[in-house]
Amino acid sequence: MATAVKTRKTKANKVGLAKANYKGRPSTLCAGCGHNSISSQIVNAAYELSLSPHQIIKLSGIGCSSKSPAYFLGRSHGFNSLHGRMPSLATGALVANRSLKAIGVSGDGDTASIGMGQFVHLVRRNVPMVYIIENNGVYGLTKGQFSATSDHEQTLKYAGTNPFMPIDLCMEALIANSGFVARSFAGDPKQVRELIKAALSFEGTAVLDIISPCVTFNDRDESTKSYSWGREHEDPLHDVTYVPRYEEIEVDYEAGETTEVRLHDGSALVLKKLDEEYDPTDRSAAIQILEQARANQVLATGLIYFNADLASLQDSEQMIERPLSELTVDELRPSQESLQEVLEGFK
Amino acid sequence: MATAVKTRKTKANKVGLAKANYKGRPSTLCAGCGHNSISSQIVNAAYELSLSPHQIIKLSGIGCSSKSPAYFLGRSHGFNSLHGRMPSLATGALVANRSLKAIGVSGDGDTASIGMGQFVHLVRRNVPMVYIIENNGVYGLTKGQFSATSDHEQTLKYAGTNPFMPIDLCMEALIANSGFVARSFAGDPKQVRELIKAALSFEGTAVLDIISPCVTFNDRDESTKSYSWGREHEDPLHDVTYVPRYEEIEVDYEAGETTEVRLHDGSALVLKKLDEEYDPTDRSAAIQILEQARANQVLATGLIYFNADLASLQDSEQMIERPLSELTVDELRPSQESLQEVLEGFK
Amino acid sequence: MTESPTHTKQVVNDFSMVVATANGSGSLTSNLALIRALFRMGIPVSGKNLFPSNIQGLPTWYTIRASSDGHTARRDSVEILVAMNASTFAEDHAGLSAGGACFYADNLPKPRARDDIIYYPMPIRDLVKEVNPPRNLKDYVANMGYVGIVSEMLGIDLEAIRGALLTHFHGREKPVELNMGMITLAAEWARDNLEKQDPYRVQAENKTEGKILIQGNTAGALGAIYGGVSFASWYPITPASSFADALREYLPQLRKDNGKNAFAVIQTEDELAAVGMAIGAGWVGARSMTSTSGPGISLMAEYVGLAFIVEIPLVIWDVQRMGPSTGLPTRTSQGDVMFVRYLGHGDTKNVILLPGSVAECFEFGWRAFDIAERLQTPVFVLSDLDLGMNLWMSDPFDYPDEPMDRGKVLTAEQLEEIGEYARYRDVDGDGITYRTLPGNEHPLAPWFARGTGHDDQAFYSERPDDWERNMERLMRKVDSARELVPAPIQHGSGKARVGLIYYGSTESAVQEARARLSEGLEIDTLRLRAVPFSAEVKQFIDDHEVVYVLEMNTDGQMHKLLQLEVPEQATRLRSLTQNNGLPLTARWIEQSVADQAGG
Amino acid sequence: MTESPTHTKQVVNDFSMVVATANGSGSLTSNLALIRALFRMGIPVSGKNLFPSNIQGLPTWYTIRASSDGHTARRDSVEILVAMNASTFAEDHAGLSAGGACFYADNLPKPRARDDIIYYPMPIRDLVKEVNPPRNLKDYVANMGYVGIVSEMLGIDLEAIRGALLTHFHGREKPVELNMGMITLAAEWARDNLEKQDPYRVQAENKTEGKILIQGNTAGALGAIYGGVSFASWYPITPASSFADALREYLPQLRKDNGKNAFAVIQTEDELAAVGMAIGAGWVGARSMTSTSGPGISLMAEYVGLAFIVEIPLVIWDVQRMGPSTGLPTRTSQGDVMFVRYLGHGDTKNVILLPGSVAECFEFGWRAFDIAERLQTPVFVLSDLDLGMNLWMSDPFDYPDEPMDRGKVLTAEQLEEIGEYARYRDVDGDGITYRTLPGNEHPLAPWFARGTGHDDQAFYSERPDDWERNMERLMRKVDSARELVPAPIQHGSGKARVGLIYYGSTESAVQEARARLSEGLEIDTLRLRAVPFSAEVKQFIDDHEVVYVLEMNTDGQMHKLLQLEVPEQATRLRSLTQNNGLPLTARWIEQSVADQAGG
Ligand SMILES: Cc1ncc(C[n+]2csc(CCOP(=O)(O)OP(=O)(O)O)c2C)c(N)n1
Ligand SMILES: Cc1ncc(C[n+]2csc(CCOP(=O)(O)OP(=O)(O)O)c2C)c(N)n1
Ligand code: SF4
Ligand code: SF4
Ligand SMILES: [Mg+2]
Ligand SMILES: [Mg+2]
């Protein structure tokens, strides 16, 4: 954990900002809500990565989770959009200005229920952004209805018993060809933070499905989205440590114990082997791990799948590096002569 | 092929109808369109199963494929709904009258592009219906744009080159927990017919992703949705034969060569082993076969996954067997006394 | 409690009491106990919950109005404040009327004292310590503290409180005892330590005899059930969710068929699916509906257009909240009128019902289905957050006084008799054609539903004459709704110079304003109950020199629809709107009308 | 061709020719060759394709109108029929005007002959045999057969045909030769075997000098490009797809930055995504748009409401087709006016531009962005299938004569100077506030966009006064559009008793009707070019006793919006509508106006 520690010591980071500069407005979410702890890890990650807030945009749909962008990165522009439709808004924003880094925060209802279609197509286009699902298996803001990730057969106070099988958003992301699929747990802040850092350094859609308990409507011990269940059943695939570009990877593990994945900006995520070997670059292994976790009801967390070779949407569209939003009036309006030429073709 | 042959001999089927009674209006689709051949197999299947047309409803979205319900089962009610939104309409219709058998016909654009969300949720709810995707990897009716199942890197006259990876609708259905996932090819009419018969006897969402070439916009040899490619690359998992309830399964194969899956109405689909063993009841095997087909670019057809143990939506909702649409006025309006009782609670 | 000699003349059963708390603190139970107790003491009441769009910790104001005269609208003045929330104490304190009573938790930082109000500190914390409830119940119990003290100081019967709690906890004694423990303790403390100095008190009367206290969403859901709803699809959204909740609560009691459900209420993945399902169910012949609010309405636009042209009956219950967009999810408005009337591209035009009370929520709940199936078109019911989610006093609802109208549906037998069938042939000349339902075994029955152009047999047609004929008939059909829908309700001599047209939840405020105005300028009122308008509406406008159109939206939407209805009198119509999320008050109406009408 | 002695007086350059084929048979190439050839001969033309909503085999009619007077509207009468489709021959044959010429493929079953028209059989099959083209080209070549014969009989210059084909095949000689082979063969056959007996002929003139022949969608896309569109998202839909096609064709030519695209045109998964992307792009500062038709508009409702309240500029190009619902995808209409004006629940209100010609499609194509960015709101451009997909003659488009207006956007430098910033503070008092764009590095720049209630700093607020203030400003802002949008265009003395208001693609028919009417009753006309209306509109209505509002929808939607605009004159406005999928004709307008105005 070299990085984090180091940066934490110094008050101001490489861009001269204190952590406070990455905070947002006071949260209006419930005390203890998992979403709040994820917000703080976003703050930590951005601070420790020394990102300039103006390079970041925050995006969300509608829900308690989707409110949270107001509670972090107060110095960044943000857009709290529509329920389930944030992916399209994010796509347009990032195509129009590819120099921006985007952090999208959504909920399980926002993504898996109403947002299923846009989510799949966002991933399929490989729009470069961090897409976080704060997954509590319930509709928080509307007071406790089932979402599409609620447990099969679980019972909730208002909603009754859920007859349907949950949607696994990591699996969805995987088969939609995401190059960065991770699962984590709000109760594991370090892992959340390191994964977010890596995701922020990845040039493609990085999907983080983070179990984020709703203490008000879905935190009973038997719920797979509760704190206690998470603590008891979390089974990390590896211990993850993000190592920035400008640092030698000198985290001292014995050889063989660790593997690393290189991110587009030259930084890396170091994966320390725990009980079993796991190779996140192996797609079928990734599918298997998700299937096993599903069958054995464990919370397998960590970097589930990684592939840095997929073209981003902007590259697929053969776009210039410069933000379209910065084109000058002259660049935007072709010349008078060009118009005459074009019109010739219609004579 | 006992069944088919038998019934074909006799002019009128068990409900006294000739095959002509299952036909629809003349097709206005292009000559040679794959959709037309699927329409005829739907006619054959319904005729050979001796279904009463009034027990069937036909549903579709919008597209050339979605027009086809006008061209079969002219004696059945049908609904040509909205682009990508047929699943919800089907759900409402089948919940309100569970005695109806539904055949839904959609396109790859209708399902994988605009319809992704509703498709996943239809399958997740396990709404009992036959859901056919007439998959030609292109938008036919709007003249040749790419759909979400178009081949990666393929080039089309109007649309240019497609930078995106195709969506595998069988995989989507599988991870959304469909109990009946099949893939077929319009150029393999027998398989199409037998699978449709089985699907019609299945009480849950039966998904058939049928490659159905668009001869006008996407039939070049290199397209995985073309006739020639299909003929060259089809690799059936097994030879399928539907055997109705009221018949002894006496298809003469040597023992071991065949397995069978039992459908809810007591009929069965007999699977004759071809080169390799394949067990469609093994979920991980199903996932693997789809992954392999994807990797090796083959058209693996047949019954990919089967599981008859999932509760239908109507059962999940603990509904009566009788169609809600048949409740009488007296059944619909509770008594005057009951109202007084209820209102007591508000005093 | 010892009566103070010094106190001014008493004000009995006529005040607004605001309880200021933070949401998620369980104060609702306390407030319901208070309001139900007053109600059981025979005092007319209404309760309005002004809550934030979040789950925990933000300011919430619950207003209980007691009114001997039976007024239930919001009113600007607050006579009694129960301050439990530090963050709003100053503001709430400033808003209290002169001579008012200020009950406050004594641990709150107290703003600079006013000398025109009476203060009653409440030692909530100490009282809680004394009762010492389980940790997770501390907040709830604390809130019972003010119930006890306020009851004591106003003279609310603790037995009535107890009864209210029993109802709330469905007869479970344990929680009732726990809470009553706190309440009586607090009441005793008040008796021993506080001196009554404000004029406000309650006294039992008999003005709620036989009445009920209910929310519009519950009333509407019950209405739908007695209207025979068998299929409902919905997607959670404030303020409409409690409509579906009520269906899910009462349908199992009222429509079971030996243990199984003779109905289905499906939570969908979004509103496109909700309306799609409802249309599918309506097509096969169920009495089908969906409930939602603004954002859902926007998402339903495409499917509504399909239902309009295919002619599928269904009911869409819109509990309006403040828009545009996500707007203010927990604030009331009447902003969807224009949008819903023309919802759907092309020439779509929809029928709208406008309930003005919980009783009409119930009535229109069942009537909407008769109208939808008669016309074979989507019927919208526009309620709003104030009507739908707040507590209203009402006479018990009348059981439907008309037989169910299933509209023009042909059975196999009838087809056999007639011997021919065309889905869209206007055989009766009323623009309404005959449906057959899927499952009908007669060979003539099937027709292919499509949103594309069609001839009278529902076959695809691009012919100009087919299209024109069909649209002409559809417009005629939808317009004929004016004869089917509930007629407007008028008050006044009919001879006044000034008329006032309004609709929906503003009814309570207008009722009260009418009483106030009656002293001053004479005014006739007409409450719209549907669009399109019955003949009386035009008549009413003809009969008045000036007609104000009162509504809670920014653009004066109903004013516009009325202008289009009576171009000859367009200039007589004056738009009167307030749209800030709060229900209208009688005073505002009175003043605005008086001002504009020049007194 | 030997001139017949017997023939009646010639009619030169004034006829409608209908080519009846089945779609998917490649006849479009032939028809374009004919129309372009006429155009190059200096003869004013217009071409309308009446096609089915399918891909192959259904009847299609391509109408070429030649008009020395420059009339380009549809006209009821058909003087020349080219019958290539057996299934419609009888009907088409019956519709031919007396004295007309009937060219028909001689293998078609010929209906009972009329003695008032001239027949020209065409041995298409034999001619094809003779040319013997590759199998896959047979249909195309067959269609060239009528090109040759018709050219010969009407006197169309084969060199002009050749030139037209060269353009069509982008200069590739091979296909041109193949087709010309057939054409000349057919022409020769006609010269040797047919005798000219009908009066219709063409003669070169110089009335198309410097003009262009183009479709409205192409014109609009070019306009957008010269308006600086850098982001466009779209979902395929007839009749709008060719708008995006044109962007994809011309942007790479006009906005490349050494090999890379300085733009993006994204095909989305549906229209919810299309408008969502456009809003995202507009938010970060791109000139952003989406193009669609009715069903797409319905799906965009929720997101449009968000853009309205967050105040994001974007352009939504709606090529209207016949609705409600899927309706008639290949037929024209003006049915989205009312729906688009109020698109979005709550109090959403939108600005609409109404191009009346291909030249205006180009002009509004660029202007729309200036207005959208000036007002920071969605701007809709309502075109239609007739204007968008048919071929229109026009003067070459004027290069934008105004500098680009990027609206109120603050840079980091400006923020540094000002020293304070609030996204929604109305500092200029015009209702339009200042934007900052994501990426702006000044610490004051960031604001949080939200569809929920907000104060002037964009912070969440449920305060009644914040909401009211903001809505008041928004209504004022959108209303101020009337000063920004293109003013209406008037014709006539201004003194006439009768006025005619119209808009959009009916322009061509009204122009022609004006000429015809001028003989009879005097009439002034006003063509609307936007909603909200400029001051001239009210003035025009004030100045006329009777004002007809002409439009192609069923409900008289613009008539309604105008009634709301001028309540005092509401009764002067009379709705005049035809909505059957076919463009209006001058004759219909002339007669309807004459009838109603009582001659
Ligand atoms: C179109 C639309 N429908 C419904 C709603 C109401 N709504 C607000 S939040 C929400 C669900 C949020 O659930 P989730 O995404 O899981 O977020 P959470 O609150 O659990 O964090 C719903 C249904 C809405 N805002 N918009
Ligand atoms: C909301 C909406 N958007 C767009 C369209 C236009 N449209 C009609 S069919 C179609 C695509 C059909 O493609 P697919 O589903 O693959 O069917 P196919 O024609 O290929 O069989 C589209 C985009 C529409 N009808 N509705
Ligand atoms: S309701 Fe649940 S999700 Fe919402 S803020 Fe509270 S704890 Fe978090
Ligand atoms: S365009 Fe393609 S999909 Fe449509 S009918 Fe023709 S061949 Fe079939
Ligand atoms: Mg959730
Ligand atoms: Mg397709």
- Give the residue from D347, D348, D555, D578 with the most C CB atoms within 10 Å of its CB, the best one to mutate: D347
Confidence label for D594 from pLDDT (cuts 50, 70 and 90): confident
Is pLDDT of D2 > 80?
Answer: no
| CA C104, chain centre distance (Å) | 31
What residues in B contact C230, CB-CB < 8 Å?
A: 96, 324-325, 327, 332
Going B12 to B14 to B17 to B18, the CA torsion angle's sign is negative
| SS3 category, B271 | strand
Chains that touch D (3 or more CB pairs under 8 A): A, B, C
Sequence-distant (6+) residues with CB within 8 A of C134 are none
Name the DSSP class of B111: I
Sheet holding C59-67, edge to edge: C118-122, C96-105, C78-83, C14-22, C59-67, C45-50, C391-394, C212-215
Query: What is the Cα–Cα distance from D341 to D502, expressed in whole angstroms?
Result: 17
Is pLDDT of C2 > 70?
Answer: no
CB distance B186 to ligand 4 below 6 Å: no
C282 touches chain B (CB under 8 A): yes
Task: Nearest by CB to C55, from A114, A141, A160: name it.
Answer: A141
Instruction: Report the DSSP beta bridge partners of residue C67.
Output: C14
- Please report where in the chains the tokens 């042909």 appear, as a residue: C410
pLDDT recorded at residue C263: 98
Paired tokens of B174? 């599988």
Task: Nearest by CB to C347, from D299, D335, D468: name it.
Answer: D335
Q: What is the pLDDT of residues D548-568, one digit of tens each?
A: 999 999 999 999 999 999 999
Task: Nearest by CB to D347, from C297, C554, C580: name it.
Answer: C554
Supply φ then ψ for residue C444, to 5 degrees.
Answer: -80, -15
CB distance B216 to ligand 4 below 6 Å: yes
pLDDT recorded at residue C598: 67
Paired tokens of A70? 């107001």
Query: What is the Cα–Cα distance from C511 to C509, expressed in whole angstroms?
Result: 5
Check A78 against D448: CB less than 8 A apart. Answer: yes
| SS3 category, B264 | coil
> Searching chain B, which residue's CA lies closest to the CA of residue C412?
B54
Mean pLDDT of C204-216: 97
Whole-angstrom CA distances from D494 to C589, D489, D502, D539 are 45, 12, 16, 10
pLDDT recorded at residue B7: 45
Query: What is the Cα–Cα distance from B92 to B106, expressed in whole angstroms?
Result: 17
What residues in A contact D441, CB-CB < 8 Å?
A: 52, 54
pLDDT recorded at residue C132: 93
Peptide bond into D486 cis (omega under 30): no
Is pLDDT of C342 > 90?
Answer: yes
Name the DSSP class of C9: -
> Searching chain C, which residue's CA lies closest to the CA of residue A138?
C236
C244 touches chain A (CB under 8 A): no
What residues in A contact B316, CB-CB < 8 Å?
A: 163-164
For residue D292, the surrounding DSSP H or E stretch is strand D288-292
Is pLDDT of B4 > 60?
Answer: no
Q: How many CB atoms lie within 10 A of CB D173?
A: 11
Paired tokens of C113? 């004292």
Q: How remote is the CA of residue D244 from the centroid of ligand 6, in Å? A: 19
Exposed, middle or buried: residue A22 (CB in 10 Å: 0-12, 13-18, 19+)?
Answer: buried
Determine the residue of B139, B158, B169, B212 to mutate for testing ligand 2's pocket, defined as the one with the most ligand atoms within 8 A of the Cβ atom: B139
Q: What is the pLDDT of residues D74-106, one digit of tens each?
A: 999 999 999 999 999 999 999 999 999 999 999
Is pLDDT of B233 > 60?
Answer: yes
Residue-level pLDDT, tens digit, chain A, 347 residues: 233 344 444 589 999 999 999 999 999 999 999 999 999 999 999 999 999 999 999 999 999 999 999 999 999 999 999 999 999 999 999 999 999 999 999 999 999 999 999 999 999 999 999 999 999 999 999 999 999 999 999 999 889 999 999 999 999 999 999 999 999 999 999 999 999 999 999 999 999 999 999 999 999 999 999 999 999 999 999 999 999 987 766 556 665 689 999 999 999 999 999 988 999 999 999 999 999 999 999 999 999 999 999 999 999 999 999 999 999 999 999 999 999 999 999 99
What residues in B contact D321, CB-CB < 8 Å?
A: none
- Give the residue from A36, A71, A83, A220 with the most C CB atoms within 10 Å of its CB, the best one to mutate: A83
Q: Which amino acid is at C352?
A: I
pLDDT recorded at residue C594: 86
Is pLDDT of B2 > 70?
Answer: no
| CA C498, chain centre distance (Å) | 28
C396 touches chain B (CB under 8 A): yes
Check C55 against A67: CB less than 8 A apart. Answer: no
pLDDT recorded at residue A248: 64
- Ligand 2: residues within 6 Å at CB? B 62-65, 83, 107-110, 134, 136, 138-142, 147, 214; D 235-237, 271, 295-296, 299, 326
Mean pLDDT of B33-40: 98
Mean pLDDT lowest among C37-46, C134-143, D58-67, D435-444:
C134-143
Q: Which amino acid is at B346?
A: F
**Residues listed for chain B:** 347
pLDDT recorded at residue C3: 44
Check C301 against D301: CB less than 8 A apart. Answer: yes
Exposed, middle or buried: residue A208 (CB in 10 Å: 0-12, 13-18, 19+)?
Answer: buried
Determine the residue of A60, A86, A110 to mutate for testing ligand 1's pocket, defined as the one with the most ligand atoms within 8 A of the Cβ atom: A110
Query: What is the Cα–Cα distance from A270 to B14, expressed in whole angstroms?
Result: 68
Q: Which amino acid is at B209?
A: D
Query: What is the Cα–Cα distance from B247 to B242, expressed in whole angstroms?
Result: 10
What residues in D contact C564, CB-CB < 8 Å?
A: 560, 563-564
Check B141 against D245: CB less than 8 A apart. Answer: no
Nearest to C378 by CA among C462, C469, C278: C278
Around ion ligand 5, which residues have CB less than 5 A away?
A 107-109, 136
Asked whether the beta carbons of D370 and A314 are under 8 A apart, the reply is no
Mean pLDDT of C222-226: 98
Query: What is the Cα–Cα distance from D265 to B145, expressed in whole angstroms?
Result: 13
Q: How remote is the CA of residue C299 from the centroid of ligand 3, in Å? A: 26
pLDDT recorded at residue B255: 59
Counting from 1 in the atom list of ligand 2, the atom nearest the Cα of D237 is 6
pLDDT recorded at residue C597: 77
pTM above 0.95, yes or no: yes
Counting from 1 in the atom list of ligand 3, the atom nearest the Cα of A63 is 4
pLDDT recorded at residue A252: 60
Q: What is the pLDDT of residues D530-551, one digit of tens each?
A: 999 999 999 999 999 999 999 9
Paired tokens of B261? 């899956």
Q: Which amino acid is at B50?
A: S
Mean pLDDT of C168-197: 96
Whole-angstrom CA distances from C426 to C414, C423, C434, D224 are 17, 9, 8, 47
Query: What is the Cα–Cα distance from D257 to B22, expressed in whole angstroms?
Result: 59
Asked whether the beta carbons of B36 and B214 are under 8 A apart, the reply is no
- Give the residue from C32, C284, C404 with the most B CB atoms within 10 Å of its CB, the best one to mutate: C284
Q: Is the ipTM of this complex over 0.90?
A: yes
pLDDT recorded at residue C438: 98
Q: Widest CA span of chain D, in angstroms?
A: 89
Chain B residues in contact with chain A using a Cβ-Cβ cutoff of 8 Å: 113-118, 120-121, 124-125, 148, 163-165, 167-168, 171-172, 175-177, 283-284, 287-288, 291, 311, 316-317
Query: What is the Cα–Cα distance from C32 to C143, expressed in whole angstroms?
Result: 12
Query: What is the Cα–Cα distance from D29 to A241, expressed in whole angstroms?
Result: 64
Confidence label for D8 from pLDDT (cuts 50, 70 and 90): low
For residue D578, the surrounding DSSP H or E stretch is none
In this structure, what is the dihedral angle of CA atoms C173, C178, C184, C190, given to the nearest 10 degrees? -150
Is pLDDT of D5 > 80?
Answer: no
Task: Nearest by CB to B30, from D55, D267, D295: name it.
Answer: D55
Determine the residue of C55, C237, C303 to mutate for testing ligand 1's pocket, defined as the one with the most ligand atoms within 8 A of the Cβ atom: C237
Q: D123-160: string of b/e by CB count within 10 Å (b at 16+)? A: bbeebbeebebeeebbbbbbbbbbbbbbbbbbbbebeb
DSSP assignment of B64-103: HHHHGGGGB-TTSEEEE--TT-HHHHHHHHHHH-TT-EEE
Query: What is the Cα–Cα distance from A119 to B13, expressed in whole angstroms?
Result: 47
pLDDT recorded at residue C4: 45
Is pLDDT of D215 > 90?
Answer: yes
pLDDT recorded at residue D596: 83
Task: Nearest by CB to A117, from B116, B168, B317: name it.
Answer: B116
Mean pLDDT of C447-453: 98
Could you tell me if residue B64 is left (phi over 0), alpha (psi between -120 and 50 degrees) or otherwise beta? alpha
Q: What is the pLDDT of residues D163-214, one digit of tens each?
A: 999 999 999 999 999 999 999 999 999 999 999 999 999 999 999 999 999 9
Whole-angstrom CA distances from A207 to A2, A122, A128, A130, A174 are 25, 10, 10, 6, 9
